Amino acid sequence: MIDIIQTIMTSISIMQERITRINLAVDRADILIQPRLGELKMMNFDQVEHAIEEGYLGVKEKLEDIKTLMASL
């Protein structure tokens, strides 16, 4: 049973990644923030603090780009 669930979760993850790539190719983002999440999976709730920290660091890396974009609006 666990193997089936793992297979379904992996399939959803692959599908989600491909949809994201297609969406980004069609509708380019002004700024793309890509946190370094490594092998973090959708159901790894125990690693939420790590995910938040990586998101924070990703925003910090792009902060000047964000400020520039906001000033041009």
Instruction: Report the alpha-carbon distance of residue 21 to residue 23 in Å, rounded.
Output: 5
Mean pLDDT of 39-61: 89
Query: Which pLDDT tens digit goes with each residue over 57-73?
Result: 999 999 999 999 999 98
Q: Is 2 a residue whose pLDDT tops 90?
A: no
- Write out the two tokens for 32: 């793309």
Q: Which residues contact 9 (CB under 8 A, 6 or more apart)?
A: 41, 42, 43
Residue 36: name the closest of 71, 60, 70 by CA: 60
Biggest distance spanned by C-alpha atoms of the chain: 53
